Structure 1
Amino acid sequence: MLVGAAADGVESFKGVPFAAPPVGPLRWLRPQPPPTWQGERPAADYGAICIQPPANGDPGVGPLPMSEDCLTLNVWTPEARGGAPLPVMVWIHGGGYNNGSGTAALYDGTKLARRGVVVVTINYRLGRLGFFDHPALAAERGREEPAANYGLMDQIAALEWVRDNAAAFGGDPSNVTVFGESAGGAAVTQLMVAPSARGLFHRAVVQSGMGRQRSAELALDRPGRPSAQSLGRAWARGAGLAADVTADDLRAVPAERLLSPMPAFYSDNLIVDGVVLTEDVVEAFAAGRQAPLPLILGANSAEFWWIRPSDAGAYGRTDDAMTEAEHDALLAAYGGPEGYDQHVVSDLVFNEPARRLARLHAAGGHPTWLYRFDVVPESNPGPSGGATHASERPYVFDNLHTVGRPMGERDERAATAMADYWTTFAATGNPNGPGRPTWPEFGAERDRLLDFTNHGPVARPIPNADRLDLIEAFYDRVR
C-alpha cells in the first residue's frame, strides 16, 4: 500500500520504486525487480535524484539529495475517478542524458492530471552510470546480456511498471503516451525503435528530440566515432585505474568520480548495443521499423541560438563537413553570416531532423503532427530571435509559475493550448478538439505544422523550408 497526498483535486504518489537500487553489484546491470514491502509505504515525498554534475540553474533538475539509489517514479491522478480508465502520460526528462530528474517542480503533473489523465514522471540513470561500457564489464556478461544503455533500460522498466500498475491509479495500461524533451525526446524516438519497448506505449510526443544523431557501437571503433568500450577504457585510464582493472574494481569507484570529466551527450551517451538498441533512429524510421503509432514532434524557433557553428564542444564543429558551395548557399539562405551563425545549429540539430522524422513516419501511413514553438514572454526580451531550447516545458505542463519571472496573459493562453493539445492527444490519438485551431495532420497536409506563436496557434507551411532543404541535401551527401 502507498500512502500519498491529495491537493487541488489531484492525488499524488511520489518516490515509488520501479526497480531495485542499482548499487554495489547491480551497478551497470539491467534494472532488477523493485523490492516489495508489507503494509503502508509513505509516498508523499520525492526520492533522490540520480547522480549528476551541478545543475547550473536548470529548472528541470529537481532538489537534492542525490544518490545512485534513484530509480523511482511519481504519479498524479485525478482525485475524483470513476467510469472508464484514464489515459496515462509518462514523461522522460531531458538534460543531455547527464542531468535532470522527474522530481523538478517544473514537471509537477497536477495541472495535466486535472484535465483527466494520469501523469507519471521518472528518474533514470545518467552519465557514466547510465550509458557506459568497458572491456572488464564485457568479460563478465553473456553475449545476449544487454549492455551500456542502462538509462534506456530504466525507462523501459518504468514503462513495464506502468503496464503492471497503472490500473491501481485509475489509468489505462492500454493507452499510454510517452512524451519527452531534448534528450528525453531523443529517448522517445529510441523507445520507438527498441524491440523490448514495443507495446508498452501507444502514442508518442517528441519535443526537440533531434533525429539524425549517430550512435557509437558497443565494441567496434568507427572513423571519428570511438566505441563505448574505447570511451570507457579512456575514462578509466584518465581516472588512474590500472590497465587490468576488473568489473569489481569499476563498481568500487565512488559514483562522484564518474562525473569527471562530464561525458558529452552527443558522443558518449548514444550507443547501439545490439540488444536494447539495434540501429540508429533515423535508419529505423527510414526502413519503417519504428513503432507504428500516432506521433507529435517538433522544435523551438531559436533552440541553440547562442551556439555558433564553429564552436567546439558537445555538438562539435557542425559545419566542418560542408563544401564551400554548400556553405555559400546556406549563407545566402540565412541572409548572411549573422543569421547563419545564429540559426544554422538549431536547424541542423533540431528543425530539419524533426521534419525528416515527420516525413518518414507519415510516409508509413502513421498519424503524424509537426509543431514549432515560438512563444517568447514579454518579460524575457533578448537577442535570441525566438523561443530557446527547453522553453516550451512550462507551457506543456501548464506550470508557468515555475519560470521565475512574470508571465503574461498570452503565456497563459499558450500554456492552456499546449496542455490541452497534449492531453487530448493522449486521450484520443489526435490533438485536435473543440475550441482551438485545427492542427493539420502532416501526412494529409504535407509540410504543414502548427506554429505556437505569441498570438496563438497558427496552422501554416513549415517556416524557412528553403534552409531546411539545403540542410537535407547536405545530410543526404554526408550520411
Structure 2
Amino acid sequence: MGCQKEPSTQPSQEQSSDAMPVAPAVDEATVVNTSSGTVRGVVEGDVLAFKGIPYAQPPVGDLRWRAPQPISWQGEKSAAQYGNDCMQEPFPSDAAPLGTTPAEDCLVLNVWKQADSNDASLPVVVWIHGGGWVNGGSSPEVYDGSPFARKGVVFASINYRLGRFGFFAHPALTAAAEGPLANYGQMDQVAALKWIKDNAAAFGGDPNAITIMGESAGGFSVFNLMLIKESQGLFQQAIIMSGGGRGSNRGTRMLSEDQGDQISAEKVGLNFAEANGIEGTGPEALASLRALSAEDVTDGLSMTYLFAPPQGPITYGGGPIRDNNIITDATGARIARGEAAKVPVLIGTTSADIGFGVGDSKEELFAWFGDYADEARKAYDPEGDAPLPVLKMMVGADQFMTEPAHYAAREFTRFGQPVWLYRFSYVAESMLGEWQTGAPHATEIPYFLDTVTAKYGDDLTPKDAQAADLAINAFTNFIKTGNPNDAGSEAWPTYQGANGPLMDFTSEATAEVKDDPWQERLSIITKVENEKSADNQ
C-alpha cells in the first residue's frame, strides 16, 4: 500500500543518476490507499493530517456488543475531520475536553505525518486515551499529533468503545455465542493496532517500529495489550503513563462467577436490563437490549458516576472484565509469570497522581498496612500533623500508581527488558497556586505531547515551553530508538531496582536522574503487596 500517484524516483533527462528523489507534491500525498479504501487527508501547515478513518464497521444494531468487524469502502473517503468520539456522558472537568459529539458509530482513528517527508520507514506511535474506560476520545486538542509528526514520527490516535458499550456482559450474549465476550473496547484497540500495522507503510511509517502509548485507562490498556495474545507482534515498544502495574483498573470482575462480595459481570448486565424493563436471558432479551437507544445505554455514565455511583443495584461493571480469554488474571500476576511482550518500556507517574486512599480517620487509612501500620505512619506522617486529605492522596496515589509502576519496572527488568522510569513533577506556572502538592493526574499529557499551547493558551510561559521540550524530546528519542536518551548519551540509566533510578521532570523545568526519594514509603506498600500475593498462592 502507498500514497496514490507516488512520484517517480528514476532520473529524468535533466537529472543525474545520483540525484536525490523528489518529495511527493503535498496535494498528491494527501491521498492514501489503505487496506480498507482510499482516504484523502488535509494539509495543516507543515503536517498532513488524516482524521476520522474508520478501522471497523460501526458497532451499531446487531453489531452492538460484538467484536469489531472489518470495513471497506469504494471511492475516496474524506479524512479532513475527526469522527465521533465514542458514546459517553462528557465529564465536566475533563482535562482533555472532547472536540466532537459522542456517538455509537465511533470506531475511527487519526494519523499525522510530516508533509515534506519522503521517508517510507518512519517510526510510528499509537496514542490510547484515558478517561476511566467511560470518558475520553481522540479528538481533544491536547491529543493533536502534529508535534510528533514534525519530529519525524507518524502519530496515530484511536477511539475504542467505552462504558457499557465497551465492557458489558449478559447471559443472553453468552448464550448467543457470537464471538469473544465482554471486553469489546479492548478488542477495538487490538483491531485498531492491526489496521495501523497493515497500513503503516501507506503513511510512510515502519510497520515493524510501532510504539503503543497510553495514559491512565490508556496506560492500563497498554499493559493489557502487552498481555493479550492477539496483540503480540503488533508493536515493538511501550510507553505507560500512570497506568498502575499490579491490578487492572477496576477490571477484576469475573464474567460469570461471583467473587466474594463482588457480583459477576453477567449479574451486573442483568441488573442493567432489569432497570430498563428487560427480563429473560434468551434472544428476545438480547434483541431488546440492542434496541435500546445509545442514550439509554449510557444512562449518564461518566467519571462523575464512578466517583459517586447512584444508590441501588450496580448497573456498570467498571471496565475490563476477567473473561478468561482476553483478560485472564490480574496484571501484576501475569507480568510476574513473564507473560508480557518482551519489549522496551518507558513507564512513569506524576508527582501528585490519582489514588483512592480510604478512611474517615488516620487509623482507618493506615489500617490497610496491617502489621506495617506504625512503619507507614512514620514514613507518611512523621510529625503526626499531616492533614488527612493530603495523607489520603499520598497513600492512595502510592498504592494505585507509584508503587505499581516500580513493581512493573522491576518485573520487566527481571525478564531482561530495558525499562526507564520517570516521575513528572512540573506544574504550569499559571497553576502553581492551585496545584500545590505537585503535578496532578493527567497534567503531564500536554508536555509529553507538546500541546501546551492548546492547553494553556495565553497563560503559557517560556518555562512551561521548556518543560514540554524536555518531555517530548525524551519520548521522541524512545519512539525512534527504544532509548529516551539523546544519541551518544547515557544520562538516563535503565531501571536497576527498588530505588530506581528515575528521571524526574522537575518543578524547575529540568530533567534530573536520581534514586527515588520516596522509596522508604513505597517499600512498605511493596511488603504488604508481597504478603497478599503469597497469601493468594
Q: CA deviation at 1:99?
A: 0.4
1:329 aligns with 2:366: no
Q: 2:446 aligns with which of 389, 394, 403?
A: 394
Compare 424-433 and 210-219 and name the one that shifted more: 210-219
Counterpart residue number, 1:58: 94
Listed as ranges, the matches of 1:75-474 within 5 Å are 75-141=111-177, 145-214=179-248, 215-244=252-281, 246-260=285-299, 262=301, 264=306, 268-304=318-354, 308-310=357-359, 319=365, 322=368, 325-335=371-381, 336=384, 337-338=386-387, 339-381=390-432, 382=434, 384-404=436-456, 406-434=459-487, 438-443=491-496, 447-455=500-508, 456-474=510-528
- Contact in 2 for aligned 1:60/1:94 (Cα 8 Å): no
Distance 2:489 2:215 in 1: 24
State the one-letter code of the partner of 1:223.
Answer: G
Backbone CA RMSD of aligned residues: 2.3
Q: CA deviation at 1:261?
A: 5.9
- Contact in 2 for aligned 1:10/1:76 (Cα 8 Å): yes
Q: CA deviation at 1:384?
A: 4.0
1:290-342, CA deviations, whole angstroms, 9 ceiling, x for partnerless residues?
Answer: 0000000110000137x65327xxxxx99586255433322221123425233
1:186-207, CA deviations, whole angstroms, 9 ceiling, x for partnerless residues?
Answer: 0000000000000000000000
Distance 1:445 1:341 in 2: 23
TM-score, scaled relative to structure 1: 0.93
1:34 aligns with 2:34: no
**Which secondary structure state, in structure 1, belongs to the residue aligned with residue 194 of structure 2?**
helix
Distance 2:499 2:352 in 1: 23
State the one-letter code of the partner of 2:406.
Answer: R
State the one-letter code of the partner of 2:420.
Answer: W
**Which secondary structure state, in structure 1, belongs to the residue aligned with residue 423 of structure 2?**
strand
**Which secondary structure state, in structure 1, belongs to the residue aligned with residue 262 of structure 2?**
coil
Aligned residue pairs total: 471
Counterpart residue number, 2:529: 475
1:370-401, CA deviations, whole angstroms, 9 ceiling, x for partnerless residues?
Answer: 00000011211225410000000000110111
State the one-letter code of the partner of 1:350.
Answer: M
Q: CA deviation at 1:80?
A: 1.6
Larger radius of gyration: 2
In structure 2, runs of 5+ residues without a counterpart are 1-37, 308-315
Percentage of matched positions with identical amino acids: 40
- Contact in 2 for aligned 1:410/1:454 (Cα 8 Å): no
Structure 1 residues 416 and 153: CA distance shift in structure 2, 3 A: same
Q: CA deviation at 1:420?
A: 1.1
Counterpart residue number, 2:8: none
Structure 1 residues 321 and 35: CA distance shift in structure 2, 3 A: farther
Q: CA deviation at 1:476?
A: 2.0
- Contact in 2 for aligned 1:133/1:232 (Cα 8 Å): yes
Distance 1:410 1:198 in 2: 40
Counterpart residue number, 1:314: none
- Contact in 1 for aligned 2:358/2:365 (Cα 8 Å): yes
Structure 1 residues 270 and 125: CA distance shift in structure 2, 3 A: same
TM-score, scaled relative to structure 2: 0.83
Compare 411-420 and 171-180 and name the one that shifted more: 411-420
